[in-house]
Amino acid sequence: MTGSREFFYRRLHSLLGVIPVGLFLIVHLTVNHFATAGEGSFNKAVGFMEHLPFLHFLEIVLIFLPLLYHAIYGLYIAFIAKNNVKQFGYFRNWMFLIQRVTGVITLIFVAWHVWETRIAYALGTPLDFHMMENILSSPFMFWFYIIGVICTIFHFSNGLWSFCVSWGLTVSPRSQVITTYVTIVIFVLLSIIGVQALVAFV
């Protein structure tokens, strides 16, 4: 019975990391990328998102609760995981280790980002181009965001590979190799989008 629960928890953790959390990441990166077209374009995109119907309900049910579960159970997995990189230097073993490390970094980054933006907005600070411009005006915060965004994107992209294996979408070794290349391309493309957006704010 315990094994069945563990299997269910891990499958749920994997699913929520892609749907809806991963989808929200893509939407968030897309909205931020409007900054490359200028302040007005970014503010218009943010304004559209802020006026979605049932926004607070959607944020709680589709973002915060799934993210909270994924983060808490992910920490549990990270700290009980038995990494064997030193004994077996295979590519997937390294990806397993980096996935855990980036998961912890992502959690720290996301928590800080939510505090600096969403909580600040709830307390009365306008959520606009100038908010991000002020945050990223510090070289330390700029590089903190660069590292945080890249780690977050890696964690999502590599997590897609694990998701496909966990849910039986890629069973054969060949399909898993193909998925590896696909997720690498996803990582590179999303990283370019994320970094371009951050640079646009400075």
Q: Does 53 sit behind a cis peptide bond, omega within 30 degrees of 0 on the bond before it? A: no
Q: Is the per-residue pLDDT at 88 higher than 80?
A: no
How high is the pLDDT of residue 92?
Answer: 81
> Which long-range contacts (C-beta less than 8 Å, at least 24 apart) are formed by 181-188?
183/157, 183/158, 184/157, 186/157, 186/160, 187/153, 187/154, 187/157, 187/158
Q: pLDDT tens for residues 94-151?
A: 898 899 999 999 999 999 999 999 999 989 999 999 999 999 999 999 999 999 999 9
**What would the mean pLDDT of 165-192 be, rounded to a whole number?**
94
Q: Count other Cβ atoms within 10 Å, centred on residue 85.
A: 13
Q: Is the per-residue pLDDT at 87 higher than 80?
A: no
**What would the mean pLDDT of 148-177 be, rounded to a whole number?**
94
> What is the spatial distance between Cα 201 and Cα 198, in angstroms, rounded to a whole number?
5
Q: Is the per-residue pLDDT at 163 higher than 90?
A: yes
Q: Where are the domains of the chain?
A: 2-201
**What would the mean pLDDT of 161-168 be, rounded to a whole number?**
92
> What is the spatial distance between Cα 70 and Cα 186, in angstroms, rounded to a whole number?
21
Residue 120, both tokens: 């600040």
What distance, in Å, lies between the first and last C-alpha atoms of the chain?
53
**Highest CATH level, class, for 2-201:** mainly alpha
Q: Is the per-residue pLDDT at 170 higher than 70?
A: yes
Q: pLDDT tens for residues 40-74?
A: 999 999 999 988 898 889 999 999 999 999 999 99
